Amino acid sequence: MLKNLFRYPTEFFLLALLLGSSMVLYFVFGYSPQIRRYLICLSGLLYWGWSLYYHWRRGDLNLSILVEYLVFALLGVIVLLSSVI
């Protein structure tokens, strides 16, 4: 697992940047549930997009992996959306 982190540092840095920015923006826009909902959906989409890029770079991009990321992203988005009034 850590081997991949050192082999693809740029990709994982990009992921950390995407997720970190989403988290910061989530709190910055804490006053607006509507903007929070958009941010949650965008984060899920970005995570899925990152998986495309990461596995394309690794050379093992295939349908089953994309479905796996899609399901993880959906789970995160649905659970978080239901907690934002």
Partner 1 sequence: MPKWLHLLFLPHPDNNHRASLLQPGTLALLIAVYLLNQSFISSLSTLRPGILGYSSEITAQKVLDLTNTQRQKNNLAPLVYNQLLEQSATAKAKDMFAANYWAHNSPGGKVPWDFFNAAGYEFTVAGENLARDFQDTDTMMRAWMNSPSHRSNIIHQKYQEIGIGVVNGILNGVKTTLVVQHFGTPLVPLVPQEVSTGTVLSAAPVTDLAPQIHPLINPLLLTQLVGGLLFGLILVVLVIDAWHTVNKGHHRLTGSTLGHMGFLLIIFLLLILTRQGTI
Binding site for partner 1 (CB under 8 A): 1-2, 4-5, 12, 15-16, 19-20, 22-23, 26-27, 30-33, 43, 47, 50-51, 54-55, 60, 62, 64-65, 67-76, 78-80, 82-85
Distance in Å, CB of 38 to partner 1, minimum: 14
Q: Is 10 or 85 the residue whose CB approaches partner 1 more closely?
A: 85
Give the whole-angstrom CA distance, residue 70 versus residue 4.
21
Q: Which is nearer to partner 1, 10 or 83 (CB)?
A: 83
| CA dihedral for 5, 54, 26, 84, sign (positive or negative) | negative
CB contact set of 65 (below 8 Å; sequence gap of 6+): 51, 55
Euclidean distance between CA atoms 21 and 26, whole angstroms: 8
Between 2 and 10, whose beta carbon lies closer to partner 1? 2
Q: Kindly state the smallest distance separating residue 10's Cβ from partner 1, in Å.
A: 14
Apex 68 CA angle, 15 and 5, nearest 5 = 35
